Structure 1
Amino acid sequence: MNKSQLDKMKNGKGFIAALDQSGGSTPKALAAYGLLEDSYSSEEEMFDKVHEMRTRIITSPSFSPDSILGVILFEQTMDSKIEGKYTADYLADKGIVPFLKVDKGLAEEENGVQLMKPISDLEETLRRANERGIFGTKMRSVIHEPNESGIKEVVQQQFEIGKRIIEAGLVPIIEPEVNIHSEQKEKSEEILSNEIMEHLNGLSEEENVMLKLSIPTKANAFKELVEHPRVVRVVALSGGYSREEANEKLRENDGVIASFSRALAADLNANQTQEEFDAALKKAVDSIYDASVHKK
């Protein structure tokens, strides 16, 4: 493990950019960027377009290591190049820590939750991630209802896979998202926090994780998780909130930084001039950085 990257993730000021839209969510991400489905004719062209979008973001002077601590990548982005370098190498040279999304999407809802689909090629993916200079990974489950057995299963699956990722020398981002539209979101968060704490207490001193959680309904509800010695960092997803609302809620949670996707790229468009694009990205980066660093 890269110790300087670990120190940056633990102690650095800034946030993590989530640029890991997968096959299912890429058309939506491109449409939001101003590229409709008639602008590409195959999956290969679609991924070329999204890599161009991500390259434009990553190479922008507004995407600075002074504000951006890390970036979560999709597997094809990891295997693609920016200015002749593999994406993770380009990011590392820029002073930004690279992560890789490793989950294969969500299973159907059962017991009020969606577990991850099986990750059949995890060991091979982790081997390649190490070759490509990846620091950590990310994997997402979703909680819709405060079903204790469902939430228990979500957290157990996350930590079981997380331990395999730790064994490969990488830091896992555990992401059990709570649906922001859930009528009992706060109750789900209470159950989730207790389950996570139980698993954190079972880790050895050599086993460290990051947590990516929905911004809690009750401010500082995850304070114990933020302060746990086995937690490198707690980051928050925007979860469908607008950037303004996500920033406002994030600001109420001490020690939690952003890991936004849609909220970061919402104002970016393929038809913007480079000057317009850089200005829109800078506005987003500055506001998310401010909410991550300056608390109420």
Structure 2
Amino acid sequence: MADAKQLEQMKSGKGFIAALDQSGGSTPKALRLYGIEEDAYGSEDEMFDLIHEMRSRIATAPAFTGEKVIGAILFEKTMEREIEGKPAAKFLWEERGVVPFLKVDKGLESEHDGVQLMKPMPDLDALLDRAVEHGIFGTKMRSVVSAANAEGIQAIVEQQFAVGRQILAKGLVPILEPEVTISIDDKAQAEDMLLNEIIHHLDTLEEGQEVMLKLTLPTLANLYAPLIAHPRVIRVVALSGGYSRDEANALLAKNEGMIASFSRALTEGLSAQQSDDEFNTTIAKAIDDIYAASIT
């Protein structure tokens, strides 16, 4: 069962969730934005060493504590490594007061009916067992909506909840993430469909089955208020989805009760070439700004 103190922090803690979960496909871009070009590493192992250094630098920054960062989402390889001599998840909770989550999806299928479902996860049970051993509180898994297509949106929400139940059965809290692409013409219609479909599935959960939702910042402010108020929802968090940090923060501030779970927008402006002082000042400002938008 989920740790009671961590659950309470997720339900009522002021702050946001840091998404430090870039995986194999998105790591080169994350490193490039951090000032490390692809010619700086010769293998996947070296690439993951560099991204782990970046994540460790973020996690050990003075401002990165549970006072403003209430949770952090880790990539599987990060969970299995150490930060300052402690397993990453334990370090986050015991040293920083930050609740650890694990990204569990294996990427996306090709688009069908305007959506990209998650690829099959045949090893999910084993991964969840390892997550429990590492002290992980919850999980995150992403799929993508690219059109206001009723069949596609129904399929994507069904898949998220089906896998969510598998995660709940292990005593972990799933963050369900059906992301709506921010650039589509029918974004508002897709969000209306998604909202109705999510409510329908939330109403099928039993007492004690509680989930979190990670959603694109909606076109209509406070669209997701019914989800925030739903008794089966612990928290609704927002992804930055391609918006700059300032844009994402401005939109987030208009959505009462929704908090950030930013990845690229959190690390914007950070560079491997910065001194520790410069790096720590930059991440502190990012944390302050995202925190301010999250507590509206």
Shorter-chain TM-score: which interval? Answer: over 0.9
For residues 280 and 59 of structure 1, what CA distance do their matches in structure 2 show?
A: 14
For residues 290 and 277 of structure 1, what CA distance do their matches in structure 2 show?
A: 20
Within the candidate set 154, 163, 166, 2:165 is matched to 163
Partner residue, 2:177: 175
Runs of 4+ in 1 over 6 A off after TM superposition: none
TM-superposed deviation, 1:247: 0.3
For residues 100 and 49 of structure 1, what CA distance do their matches in structure 2 show?
A: 19
Partner residue, 2:260: 258
For 1:18-167, what aligned pairs fall within 5 Å after superposition? 18-93=19-94, 94-167=96-169
Partner residue, 1:193: 195
For residues 176 and 25 of structure 2, what CA distance do their matches in structure 1 show?
A: 21
Q: Secondary structure at the match of 2:49?
A: helix
For residues 147 and 15 of structure 2, what CA distance do their matches in structure 1 show?
A: 32
For residues 244 and 52 of structure 1, what CA distance do their matches in structure 2 show?
A: 26
Give the aligned residue type for 1:241. Y
CA-to-aligned-CA distance 1:154-198 (integer Å, 9 cap, x gap): 000000000000000000000000000011100000000000000
Give the aligned residue type for 2:77. Q
TM-superposed deviation, 1:206: 1.3
CA-to-aligned-CA distance 1:129-174 (integer Å, 9 cap, x gap): 0000000000000000000000000000000000000000000000
CA-to-aligned-CA distance 1:257-289 (integer Å, 9 cap, x gap): 000001000110000000000000011000000
For residues 63 and 170 of structure 2, what CA distance do their matches in structure 1 show?
A: 33
For 1:173-252, what aligned pairs fall within 5 Å after superposition? 173-252=175-254
For residues 263 and 279 of structure 2, what CA distance do their matches in structure 1 show?
A: 16
TM-superposed deviation, 1:120: 1.0
CA-to-aligned-CA distance 1:218-250 (integer Å, 9 cap, x gap): 000000000000000000000000000000000
Give the aligned residue type for 2:245. R
For residues 185 and 263 of structure 2, what CA distance do their matches in structure 1 show?
A: 24
Give the aligned residue type for 1:26. T
* Unaligned runs of at least 5 residues, structure 2: none
Q: Secondary structure at the match of 2:289?
A: helix
For residues 226 and 73 of structure 2, what CA distance do their matches in structure 1 show?
A: 25
Q: What fraction of aligned residue pairs are identical, expressed as a percent?
A: 58
What's the TM-score once normalised by structure 2's chain length?
0.99
CA-based RMSD: 0.4
For residues 6 and 67 of structure 2, what CA distance do their matches in structure 1 show?
A: 14
- How many residue pairs match? The answer is 294
Give the aligned residue type for 2:70. L
What's the TM-score once normalised by structure 1's chain length?
0.99
TM-superposed deviation, 1:62: 1.7
